[in-house]
Amino acid sequence: MKKIVALGLATALFTSTALAGTASAPITVNATVLSSCMFNSAATGSATFSYDAITGSASAMSGSATLYCNSGTTITLKTAASASMTLTSVSKSKSLNATYSLTSVATPGAGTGTFAGADKYVYTVAPSAVAGQWGAPTATDYTGTVDIEVEF
């Protein structure tokens, strides 16, 4: 009987030391989401037009650029809504005075694909030129740039 009691006592001692306890502590994780915006170069198209010195611009075709920003980002357009610009012919070393108007359409949460859920802004540039610029020689390589700049 003493052996059984001793064996039972030894088993109880080994069993109680073999059982492990647990403890836990919560750690708070914080994050800050930064404002981020990016133009999608695959969704950028050139603006073109034909120029007739008698009537001014003809056959104008608007160009556009698409900007995506993470949801809720506040942006400010830094580019003028309309302005004068000079288009230069590389082959003739001459220029054509032109103007553009810039419009935008914002669609919150309309981003798809890589930009899924992003706020989408489509900027459209419509070029034109005034009639009477007889000094602009015939050429197909007049070019200029409208830089669309936003601050966020």
Confidence band of 17 (pLDDT split at 50, 70, 90): low
Confidence band of 57 (pLDDT split at 50, 70, 90): confident
DSSP state string for 48-114: EEEEETTTEEEEEE-EEEEEEE-TT---EE-S-SEEEEEEEETTTTEEEEEEEEEEEEEETT---GG
- The answer to pTM > 0.85 is no
Confidence band of 11 (pLDDT split at 50, 70, 90): low
pLDDT number for residue 18: 64
pLDDT number for residue 9: 46
